[in-house]
Structure 1
Amino acid sequence: MAEAAPRLSALVHDLFGTPLPVRLRAWDGSEAGPPDGPVLVLRNRRGLRRLLWRPGELGLARGWVAGDLDVEGDLFTVLDRLSGFIWERDTPHRSLRDPSLRTAAATLLALGGPLPPPPPPPEEVRGRTGGSHTRVRDRRAISHHYDVGNPFYELVLGPSMVYSCAYWDEGGSLEEAQRAKLDLVCRKLGLTEGQRLLDVGCGWGSLAMHAAREYGVRATGITLSREQAAYARKRIAEAGLTDRIEIRVQDYRDVRDGPYDAISSIGMAEHVGTVRYQEYARQLYTLLAPGGRLLNHQIARRPERNESRYRVDQFIDRYVFPDGELSPLGRTVTTLEGAGFEVRDVESIREHYALTLRRWVANLEEGWDDAVRLTSPGRARVWRLYMAASAVSFERNRIGVNQILAVRTPEGGASGLPLRTRTWN
């Protein structure tokens, strides 16, 4: 008798006090839950065992990456409904002495089978040693994420090769929105011909190229990814900009050739880590000339009521950004001020990142067969889940993204900024 889905659905209702918000289809063909909308598919008992041995997001992620879990219909809708149901619920702690919890565990064992836990999918990062955010460990973490292969990133990001939040107007293409973001950064930095720009975490060189071509600066870009650096150098040579741009494979801690007139840090600080962020801010301050500007573009999480309870997202940490950390906006501002910066402007562009991620997911889905060929089925599934879940998190205000403009204000207090900064002239 096909009964796995109804039993699981009833179990969820008993544990959470509310029905599962999506329809569930189990490996035996049974279904349960609301008839409308997308379907969460549990393809085999192994997926259930993953959840039994690793309850929560890591078990779900392993099931998804391995193909034990799937979605029929709109993935964004499933993630949106599950966000409100699981991650945003203030669920009280349940003791193992709770009879209902023990009954639930027995039911799961009966359905999933008392076999050992399945091994994690090969895409998962394992075996990290030593303290976090050493030079060696940071280099390995960056390689895990960015050295997936430049053709894969071309497929997902499109011709702009910009891997950060675009800046949207009504309508328009991803390429136009990314160009608008690059230009916004340059205008906030007040770039003028002949200035020196340091782009920390320069990616595939898009910002350095825009700044050199449109504003006449001499740019230095640094990255820990050798694949990114090789790709950026090739693009720069093809554009005839090698006399204005230098790309280095270099740790930010090792930059010694300041002062620079301006520094951009776009989607870089998330990799630095809480234990290093003060050091990072002080290093950028040291590298800036008096009167120089820093544009820090960074994803932020919402502060916890009790910050000691904050835990890194296990899926992101194991599969996407090893050792990556998000800080609340207030902590970032305080850290920059503690390093000596005068923070002059903060702009939240949260909705813009949701739109960007949805376009990246569309690119991935449209080129799915090529994405699998360029990486692996598991790696492509990692990216689809990561980008779709991130889009939903931005839409639901679980995370945000902010551009912080800070100045190394010289003695005497003349910031060099216009009186009405939002004109960015």
Structure 2
Amino acid sequence: MGAEKTVRDLLAMCGVEVNGKNPWDIEVVDERFYTRAVAQGSLGMGESFMDGWWRSPQLDEFFNKVVGAHLSSKAPFNFKTAWLVLVSKLQNRQNMKRSFIAADVHYDLPVEIFEATFDKRLTGSCGYWKEATDLDACQDAKLDLICRKIGLKPGQTVFDIGCGWGAFMGFAAEKYGARCEGVTVSKEQVAYAMGRYANLPVKSTLMDYRNATGGPYDHLVSMGMFEHVGDKNYRTYFETARRLIKEDGLFCLHTIWGNEPDPKIDPWLDKYIFPNGVLPTVGQVTSAVHGLFVVEDVHNFGAYYDKTLMAWNDKFQSNRAPLAQKYGERFCRMWEYYLLCCAGGFRSRVISVGQFVLSPRGVPGVYETVR
């Protein structure tokens, strides 16, 4: 009863009941859940969900309440979380030897999983919903927003740091006549981008960003990659970016950020989705660019990631049956847990997402803000 009482008391702090009547309440299927959750914290919660030990009709809202109440800071000590914090503080978990781990765990999964979840371009970052009404439209709007923010013109060159499946490069080449190059640590992403955009001036290379050469390029972009850089490498990241960009170029950095610094991400996400991930703060970004870039603009649209993740989950659920048959129910529960716990996190506004526009020497006159 000790573990059960601990879990019930913690959840009560954020208005969640065990076997309650609200859609965000949880139903415990296996009593072992309580001991596992207390002993292993967030990791135990996630793994027990994957194993079917508990469920919630509205998992996204459950996490909105849990994250918004900062429940993890009130939970009992557990060794696995403490060890992750210690290692993250003492080691550079995002050094070049470790930079490909995220691809091994997540980005090199079969592309059909991402096709069953993301938009038609496989844009694995937050969409821009200002006027968009569906997943494809919000992602095209985001890609177009970035092109407009950097003032992209036909024939210009753009380097994409962490180019993913090539969504930005393909869009910029198709719609703006740009010539694009990018790097990623995922061999599957390289193969996909080079196959899909073979008829366009697009080049994707398997490479750690720190080894990037070439340029200088007219502009730089980076979407959803900075979360893999780590605070011990922020300065190196921006030094690399400064080396790659022309003196009059613009750099649009699209990233998630936290309200407070933390040397690690959630332990479950660290193990199953984004190994070695770290969310920066706005202050860490603006400090790391000292002497390298001028901050021209900061644009926060964190609430849009909640909407994007819910749209991803809707699409995934519509494709769930064949994926479950092929990859198993445990994988599918892992995937929906990833999408919905992140949706709840953004809904709570404990984390946000947005874009920085940076220039090497400052835009002459005034940088005209684009929205």
* TM-score, normalisation: structure 1: 0.78
Residue aligning to 2:267: 314
Matches within 5 A, 1:228-267: 228-237=189-198, 240-241=199-200, 244-267=201-224
What letter is aligned with 2:192? Answer: Y
Residue aligning to 1:61: 46
Instruction: Label 1:292 to 1:22 Cα distance change in 2 as closer, same or farther (>3 A).
Output: same
Structure 1 CA distance for aligned equivalents of residues 106 and 130 of structure 2:
30
Structure 1 CA distance for aligned equivalents of residues 152 and 313 of structure 2:
33
Is 2:351 the partner of 1:365? no
For residues 234-269 of structure 1, the C-alpha deviation after alignment (integer angstroms, 9 at most, x for no partner) is 1102xx31xx11111111111111211101011111
Matches within 5 A, 1:174-185: 174-185=135-146
Residue aligning to 1:293: 250
Unmatched runs of 5 consecutive residues or more in structure 1: 26-33, 96-127
The offset of 1:142, in angstroms, is 2.2
For residues 135-166 of structure 1, the C-alpha deviation after alignment (integer angstroms, 9 at most, x for no partner) is 23111222211011100000000312101110
The offset of 1:395, in angstroms, is 1.4
What letter is aligned with 1:333? Answer: T
Residue aligning to 1:349: 301
Is 2:151 the partner of 1:199? no
The offset of 1:278, in angstroms, is 0.7
Structure 2 CA distance for aligned equivalents of residues 51 and 249 of structure 1:
39
Give the greater-gyration-radius structure (CA).
1
The offset of 1:46, in angstroms, is 3.3
Is 2:356 the partner of 1:419? no
SS at match of 2:97: helix
Which gives a bigger RCO, structure 1 or 2 (Cα 8 Å, sep 6+)? 2
What letter is aligned with 1:196? Answer: T
Unmatched runs of 5 consecutive residues or more in structure 2: 78-87
For residues 103-156 of structure 1, the C-alpha deviation after alignment (integer angstroms, 9 at most, x for no partner) is xxxxxxxxxxxxxxxxxxxxxxxxx9x852232311122221101110000000
Residue aligning to 2:63: 79
Contact 2:182 2:204 survives alignment (8 Å):
yes
* TM-score, normalisation: structure 2: 0.88
Instruction: Label 1:147 to 1:8 Cα distance change in 2 as closer, same or farther (>3 A).
Output: same
Contact 2:3 2:34 survives alignment (8 Å):
no
What letter is aligned with 1:329? Answer: V
Structure 2 CA distance for aligned equivalents of residues 16 and 63 of structure 1:
17
Could you say what the CA RMSD is over the residues aligned between the two structures, in angstroms? 2.6
Matches within 5 A, 1:303-342: 303=260, 311-338=264-291, 340-342=292-294
Question: Of 392, 398, 405, which aligns to 2:357?
Answer: 405
For residues 11-67 of structure 1, the C-alpha deviation after alignment (integer angstroms, 9 at most, x for no partner) is 556x55957733424xxxxxxxx434355222223323322432x212111211222
What letter is aligned with 1:47? Answer: F
Question: Of 314, 331, 338, which aligns to 1:386?
Answer: 338
Question: Of 268, 276, 283, which aligns to 2:233?
Answer: 276
Contact 2:132 2:141 survives alignment (8 Å):
no
What letter is aligned with 1:392? Answer: G
SS at match of 1:21: coil
Structure 2 CA distance for aligned equivalents of residues 84 and 336 of structure 1:
30
Structure 2 CA distance for aligned equivalents of residues 365 and 420 of structure 1:
42
What letter is aligned with 1:345? Answer: D
Residue aligning to 1:70: 55
Contact 2:295 2:356 survives alignment (8 Å):
yes
Contact 1:152 1:375 survives alignment (8 Å):
no
Structure 2 CA distance for aligned equivalents of residues 62 and 218 of structure 1:
44
Identity in percent = 29
Residue aligning to 1:30: none
Question: Of 125, 128, 134, which aligns to 1:164?
Answer: 125
Instruction: Label 1:337 to 1:224 Cα distance change in 2 as closer, same or farther (>3 A).
Output: same
Contact 2:67 2:350 survives alignment (8 Å):
no
Residue aligning to 1:102: none
The offset of 1:280, in angstroms, is 0.7
Residue aligning to 2:18: 24
SS at match of 1:315: helix
Contact 1:22 1:37 survives alignment (8 Å):
no
